[in-house]
Amino acid sequence: MSQQLDVRLVKRLPGFTLDVTWSAGEGVAALFGPSGAGKTLTLQCLSGLLRPDAGRVVVGDRVLFDAAAGINVPPQQRGLGYVFQGYALFPHLTVADNIAFGLRGRPRAEAARRTAEVIERMSLGGLEDRRPHEISGGQRQRVGLGRALAPDPAFLLLDEPLSALDVGLRQSLREELAGILSDWHVAAVLVTHDFQEAYRLGDQIVVYEAGQVIQAAPRSELLWRPASERVAGILGIRNVLRGSVVKASPDRIQLRWRGQILETVNSPLRSYLPEPDSPLAFFIRPEYVRLIRKDRGPADPVHHMNLLSGEIVREADFGTTYALYVRLDNPGRPAQGDYDLEVEVPRLVYEILEIGRDRRWQLSMHRGSIQILPGSTGDESAS
Amino acid sequence: MSPEHFSALWLSVKVSVVATALNAVIGIPLAYVMARRRFWGRAAVDVLVTLPLVLPPTVTGYYLIVLLGRRGVLGAPLYAATGWSVAFTWYAAVIAATVMALPLLVRTARVAIESVDQNLERAAFTLGRAEWRTALEVTLPLARNGILAGLVLAFARALGEFGATLMLAGNIPGKTQTLPLSIYTAVQTGEAGQAMTLVAMLTLLSCVVVVASARLGARAL
């Protein structure tokens, strides 16, 4: 059941080159990245709809494409299910005929049995004779998935399945899609430019940028250990900052930022030991910067790690949360334009602490909340 | 209605029906290939098919004579081998009408095929369908309205064909004299009453075609 998918592709287009290598196994691999990074192009090459210029695509022990050996299995024989953006249901066929479309060539009775089974499992009973324009968006998604799953594909390829929907439907269909993917135990490759979607649906995330893979990792690792500043940038991570190394051990890294020493955690697993004084990028998520309450006595450096103080120069109201832009009292140019740190607080906290009136605060950052970006060498342009 | 008029009407209908059928057989695959394939000489084929639309019909007719006449490029060997020539037979009228009507069908059908979402075809490929099966099961059914409209246009064009038919098939009463040629002859010989009858017949026939095509279009939706 669980097959390995090994992908190495080179495809040259005018003004764009796709050159990627990655693997996927059980579960869902999400290809994530901005529009135009080559994700859909990858799916088209995998499915055989487009012929790559070089590379090799192997599913289990089946070679689907090998430029060197001259192998290029046509899409009809690849045994991969493709779910298109907007589902591409056949508008002139009924729900049942759409689902049965890929079962041609099987004995009639078996095709009918399989069609009935898929309709049942997709909860599409009673809609067999409807046309795609006569059913709801959620039902259309199930028909699209059912049609691709009916022939029992080795891998399911999903091209931005949710991107054409509006927010409300999108969320409920995302949950439904997650349920179907785990129910059917089907290995899948999913393309998305929405990180939340990639994280919710993907077991593994492959990050694309400008035709290249810049990180491929299990989703939690990607979220907490982005490989580089570029990945952090694409993930939309805020407070990506640059300092310099003071001291590094397998467990800890001490760094200097804005004239102050920050204690951070290193991971023995990645055996990353930068030289003292070398530049180092790191980030802290805005919701992990703590404001120190003034009604609980003075800040205690033993209890409050990485103590800072500053003034809120701007704020943004996001309804349930507030973003506060804090400029530190440390001398020198602020790290991010007119501020040093973005701090996110829940609305309730904002109201209780009367942040609207009180603009001067002490802040602390737990060493475990500061994430080091080891891939950065300091020669990349600032984000 | 005189027997002569009746034979002109019958010939016109027969020629138009056969020409439309030929158009379907040649034109629909041609439109598909033009819409979906990129091949060497595609632009030349496009020009060749479209030319009868812009050339004066007599010029198209002249080319047909050069090609199919008794001393024509294809006609001469055929005549040498069989002693038969297509010129001045009702087949010639069919060929003239077919060539004149083809661009209307091909252009209309091609636009209709091009407007079919290619992801539907790609979906069919990934579900195991070969390209020709996909064309039959997905593309052409979805382009049906445009193709039907093209066929109606082709039929109407074939029904009204005059110049090229006159060049290749001549104007032989009872043999190659279609309704438009019959009208021309009646006017030339000063038979205004007869001309009026024929004009009325052609107008009526055209009305039938228009109504029928409207019905077809409505049903196709």
- For chain B, what is the mean pLDDT? 91
Residue count (chain B): 221
pLDDT at A65 over 90: yes
Name which CATH class applies to B3-220.
mainly alpha
Per-residue pLDDT tens over the stretch A237-271: 899 999 999 999 888 999 999 999 999 988 777 77
How confident is the model over A21-35, as a mean pLDDT? 92
Write out residues 110-149 of B within 8 Å (CB-CB) of A.
117, 119-120, 122-130, 138, 141-142
Give the contacts of B144 (CB within 8 A, at least 6 positions apart). Answer: B220
pLDDT (0 to 100) of residue A380: 40
The dihedral formed by the CA atoms of A144, A145, A151 and A157, expressed in degrees to the nearest 10: 100
Contact yes or no for B128 and A86 at CB 8 A:
no
pLDDT (0 to 100) of residue B218: 59
Q: Where are the domains of chain B?
A: 3-220
Q: Which of A32-41, A104-113, A215-224 has the lowest mean pLDDT?
A: A215-224
Whether the CB-CB separation of A292 and A364 falls below 8 Å is answered with yes
Task: Name chain A contacts of B126, Cβ cutoff 8 Å.
Answer: 47-49, 75-76, 78, 80-82, 148
Q: What is the CATH number of domain A226-383?
A: 2.40.50.100
Q: Where are the domains of chain A?
A: 5-225, 226-383
pLDDT at A222 over 90: no
Q: With an 8 Å Cβ cutoff, is B42 touching chain A?
A: no
Contact yes or no for B124 and A104 at CB 8 A:
no
pLDDT at B2 over 80: no
How confident is the model over B188-195, as a mean pLDDT? 88
Contact yes or no for A47 and B141 at CB 8 A:
no
pLDDT at B16 over 70: yes
3-state DSSP call for residue B214? Answer: helix
Per-residue pLDDT tens over the stretch B158-174: 999 999 999 999 999 88
How confident is the model over A155-178, as a mean pLDDT? 88
Q: With an 8 Å Cβ cutoff, is B82 touching chain A?
A: no
Nearest to A256 by CA among A244, A268, A238: A244
pLDDT (0 to 100) of residue B219: 56
How confident is the model over B26-52, as a mean pLDDT? 94
Contact yes or no for A49 and B130 at CB 8 A:
no
Instruction: Please state, in angstroms and rounded to a whole number, the distance separating the CA atoms of residues A63 and A59.
Output: 6
How confident is the model over B207-212, as a mean pLDDT? 84
pLDDT (0 to 100) of residue A382: 38
- For chain A, what is the mean pLDDT? 90
The alpha carbon of residue B143 is apart from the nearest alpha carbon of chain A, in Å, by 11
From the candidate CATH numbers 3.90.226.10, 1.10.150.170, 3.40.50.300, 1.10.3720.10, the one assigned to the domain spanning A5-225: 3.40.50.300
3-state DSSP call for residue A13? Answer: strand
Contact yes or no for B141 and A92 at CB 8 A:
yes
Whether the CB-CB separation of A137 and A172 falls below 8 Å is answered with no
pLDDT at B14 over 80: yes
At residue A43, φ and ψ (nearest 5 deg) are -60, -40
pLDDT (0 to 100) of residue A383: 35
Q: Which of A53-67, A136-150, A263-277 has the lowest mean pLDDT?
A: A263-277
Helices (H), chain A: 39-47, 95-100, 108-121, 137-149, 167-183, 195-201, 219-224, 229-234, 347-352
